[in-house]
Amino acid sequence: MAAMQRSFMNVVSKSRNLVGSNPRTPSWSLNRNRTADQALLLATENNTSSGVDFQVRFASLKAVRSRMRSVASISKITKAMKMVAAAKLRGVQARQESSKPFTAGLKSFLKSTFSEIEGKETSGNHLIVAVTSDRGLCGGVNSNVVREIRKLLHEDKQNQYAILLCGDKGRDGLQRLYRNLFVVTIKDVFRAPVNFAQTCVVAEEIFKQKFDSVAIFYNHFKNAISQVVTRKVIPGLDIILKHAETFDSYEFESDMDSAQTLTDLYEFQFAVQLFDALLENATSEQAARMSAMDNATRNASEMYQKLTLTYNRQRQSVITGELIEIISGAEAL
Amino acid sequence: MVQQWRAAGLTYLRYANICADFVRKALKEPKRTEALSRTTFEMTKSEWSEGKVAKRESLTQEAERNNVSSSNK
pLDDT value at A32 more than 80:
no
Q: How confident is the model over A55-72, as pLDDT tens digits?
A: 445 567 888 999 999 999
Query: Residues for chain B: how many in total?
Result: 73
Residue A90 lies inside a defined structural domain of this protein: no
Confidence of residue A12 (pLDDT cuts 50, 70, 90): low
| Tally of structural domains, chain A | 1
**CA nearest A182 in B: which residue?**
B48
Q: Is A39 helix (H, G, I), strand (E, B) or coil?
A: helix
Domain, as residue range, for A174: 100-246+256-293
Residue A82 lies inside a defined structural domain of this protein: no
Report the predicted TM-score, pTM, of the whole model to 2 decimal places: 0.80
Chain B residues with CB under 8 Å of A198 CB are: 39, 41, 43, 61
Q: Note which residues in 16-35 of chain B have CB less than 8 A from chain A.
A: 16-17, 20
Query: What Cα–Cα distance (Å) separates residue A315 from each residue in A268, A319, A320?
Result: 69, 6, 9
Say whether A184 and B39 touch across the interface (CB within 8 A).
no
Chain A residues with CB under 8 Å of B47 CB are: 183-184
- Would you state the pLDDT for residue B27? 93
- Would you state the pLDDT for residue A115? 65
Residue A267 lies inside a defined structural domain of this protein: yes
- Would you state the pLDDT for residue B5? 87
| CATH code of residue A278 | 3.40.1380.10
Most confident of A13-27, A117-131, A300-314, B36-50: A300-314
d(CA A61, CA A36): 9
d(CA A329, CA A34): 33
On whether the CB atoms of residues A203 and A267 are closer than 8 A, the answer is yes
Average pLDDT of the segment spanning B30-52: 89
On whether the CB atoms of residues A166 and A128 are closer than 8 A, the answer is no
Q: How confident is the model over A254-281, as pLDDT tens digits?
A: 677 778 888 888 899 899 999 999 999 9
- Would you state the pLDDT for residue A261? 84
- Would you state the pLDDT for residue B70? 37
d(CA A54, CA A34): 18
Which comes out higher in pLDDT, residue B52 or A106?
B52
Average pLDDT of the segment spanning A19-30: 43
Nearest chain A CA: its distance from B62 CA (Å): 12
Q: What is the mean pLDDT of chain A?
A: 82
- Would you state the pLDDT for residue A11? 58
d(CA A223, CA A246): 37
DSSP B39: T
Domains located in chain B, CATH noted: 1-40 (1.10.1620), 42-73 (no CATH)
- Would you state the pLDDT for residue B38? 84
Which alpha helices (DSSP H) does chain A contain, by range?
2-14, 34-45, 54-113, 141-155, 169-178, 196-207, 237-242, 258-332
- Would you state the pLDDT for residue A109? 76
Confidence of residue A49 (pLDDT cuts 50, 70, 90): very low
- Would you state the pLDDT for residue B26? 93
pLDDT value at A296 more than 60:
yes
Chain B residues with CB under 8 Å of A195 CB are: 38-41
Q: Compute φ and ψ for A112, nearest 5 degrees.
A: -75, -35
Query: What Cα–Cα distance (Å) separates residue A174 from each residue in A126, A255, A303, A319?
Result: 17, 48, 34, 56
CB atoms within 10 A of CB A225: 9
Confidence of residue B64 (pLDDT cuts 50, 70, 90): low
Residue A228 lies inside a defined structural domain of this protein: yes
Say whether A186 and B59 touch across the interface (CB within 8 A).
yes
Chain B residues with CB under 8 Å of A203 CB are: 13
Q: Note which residues in 40-59 of chain B have CB less than 8 A from chain A.
A: 40-48, 50-52, 59
Residue A23 lies inside a defined structural domain of this protein: no
Nearest chain B CA: its distance from A72 CA (Å): 36
pLDDT value at B9 more than 90:
no
Say whether B42 and A271 touch across the interface (CB within 8 A).
no
A192 close contact with B: CB closer than 8 A: yes
- Would you state the pLDDT for residue A249? 75
d(CA A54, CA A313): 15
A184 close contact with B: CB closer than 8 A: yes
Residue A50 lies inside a defined structural domain of this protein: no
Q: How confident is the model over A180-215, as pLDDT tens digits?
A: 999 999 989 998 889 999 999 999 999 999 888 899
Half-sphere exposure in the Cβ direction for A40 (13 Å, CA): 25
- Would you state the pLDDT for residue A141? 93
Residue A116 lies inside a defined structural domain of this protein: yes
Q: How confident is the model over A93-119, as pLDDT tens digits?
A: 999 999 988 888 777 777 776 766 655
Residue A219 lies inside a defined structural domain of this protein: yes
Which comes out higher in pLDDT, residue B72 or A56?
A56
